Chain A
Amino acid sequence: QKEVEQDPGPLSVPEGAIVSLNCTYSNSAFQYFMWYRQYSRKGPELLMYTYSSGNKEDGRFTAQVDKSSKYISLFIRDSQPSDSATYLCAMGGIIGGSEKLVFGKGTKLTVNP
């Protein structure tokens, strides 16, 4: 089982839809959870950073973490065409004695006008 699992999609939604992106993980050592947005041929941009179970909201974005189920989600409300990108989840923790950040494969999202 891979450390971080993320459905690569692609996911296509109409403008204004609510988007739900998800990742699961297997290693309990992960204590920090992030979502990055990556446009084509660009570096990832940090969207959300959380370290506890529960919800964190920032504008149209809500990050949800359920440590007991090892499951994290990112919700995008009122999605816009400019949200079209690849969304990467990332997990951080002490693994093998050093701090590691492990990324999912990314989910490609297209928001259609």
Chain B
Amino acid sequence: GAVVSQHPSWVICKSGTSVKIECRSLDFQATTMFWYRQFPKQSLMLMATSNEGSKATYEQGVEKDKFLINHASLTLSTLTVTSAHPEDSSFYICSARTPRTGAYEQYFGPGTRLTVT
């Protein structure tokens, strides 16, 4: 149980284009999903918290107009990187919290590696 998938697993795009990453909870309903970014040899940094049916809460320093998050259903959240630039190249990971588990027990997807050329 508590399986989270992400699509695509890797993507290469040109500077200035937009990229959408999907995060799905496969065997549970996730009222809350989280989006993280991880640079090489760095820790996971929370970008935003996504609640189903409401606006995402962004962490300080994360541009909400650049990283658009939509949590349209209890099993799907999407992150769109708009007008991507090379500095946005990173490993993007989503996670979800199940209704039955502890407050901070998060289950992570496999990640999406974004390379902007």
Contact = CB atoms under 8 A, between A and B. Distances in A.
Contact-residue size bin, chain A (C-beta under 8 Å from the other chain): 20 to 34
Contacts of B113: 41
Range, interface on chain B? 20 to 34
B43 A104 contact: yes
Interface string B94-117: 010000001111111111010000
Secondary structure class of chain A's binding surface, majority of residues = strand
Contacts, number: 54
Contacts of A45: 108
A106 B43 contact: yes
B46 interface: yes
Contacts of A4: 43
Closest 7 CB pairs of A and B: A92-B104, A43-B108, A32-B104, A103-B43, A105-B43, A103-B44, A43-B110
